[in-house]
C-alpha cells in the first residue's frame, strides 16, 4: 500500500467504516510508515479538538431571547394563516 492510498482511506479508517481486510491493510501500513502514523494521529486529534472545542456556545440570555422571539413569530404566523382543516 502506498501512502497516497492510505490517505484516500483515512476518513473511512478514522470513522471505523472499513471492512476487516482493508482495515488490517491500513493497520499494517501504519505499523511501518511513521509519516502516515503521525498524519493519522494528528488528524484524529484535529477532529477531537474541534469536537470538544465549544467555540460557539449559545449564551443563556441570548438563548432565552431567541426562543421567545421564535415563538412569538410563530404565533403571529399562525394568526395570519389559520390552518385549513
Partner 1 sequence: MSTIQPNIEQPVSEEMALVRRAKRGDDQAFEELVRRYDRNVFRIAQHITQNREDAEDVVQEAFLKAYSNLEKFQEQSKFYTWLVRIAVNEALMKLRRRKPERTVSLDEEVKTEDDSLPREVADWSPNPEQMYNQGELREILTRTIQGLPAGFRTVFVLRDVEGLSTEETAQALELSIPAVKSRLLRARLQLRERLNRFFQKRASGDGDQ
Exposure on the CB side of residue 67, measured as CA atoms within 13 A:
7
Taking the mean position of all CA atoms in its chain, how far away is CA 29?
A: 26
Could you tell me which of 46, 45, 53, 39 has the C-alpha nearest to residue 10? Answer: 39
Can you tell me which of 20, 56, 61, 79 binds partner 1, judged by CB under 8 A?
56
Can you tell me which of 16, 21, 32, 53 binds partner 1, judged by CB under 8 A?
53
Residues that bind partner 1 (CB under 8 A): 3-4, 7-8, 10-12, 14-15, 17, 34-35, 38-39, 41-43, 45-47, 49-51, 53, 55-58, 62-63, 66-67, 69-71, 73-75, 77-78, 81, 83
Amino acid at each position: 500500500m502506498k501512502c497516497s492510498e492510505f490517505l484516500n482511506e483515512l476518513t473511512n479508517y478514522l470513522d471505523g467504516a472499513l471492512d476487516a481486510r482493508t482495515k488490517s491493510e491500513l493497520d499494517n501500513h501504519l505499523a511501518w510508515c511513521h509519516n502516515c502514523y503521525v498524519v493519522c494521529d494528528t488528524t484524529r486529534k484535529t477532529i477531537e479538538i474541534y469536537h470538544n472545542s465549544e467555540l460557539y456556545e449559545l449564551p443563556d440570555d441570548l438563548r432565552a431571547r431567541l426562543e421567545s422571539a421564535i415563538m412569538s413569530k410563530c404565533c403571529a404566523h399562525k394568526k395570519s394563516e389559520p390552518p385549513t382543516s
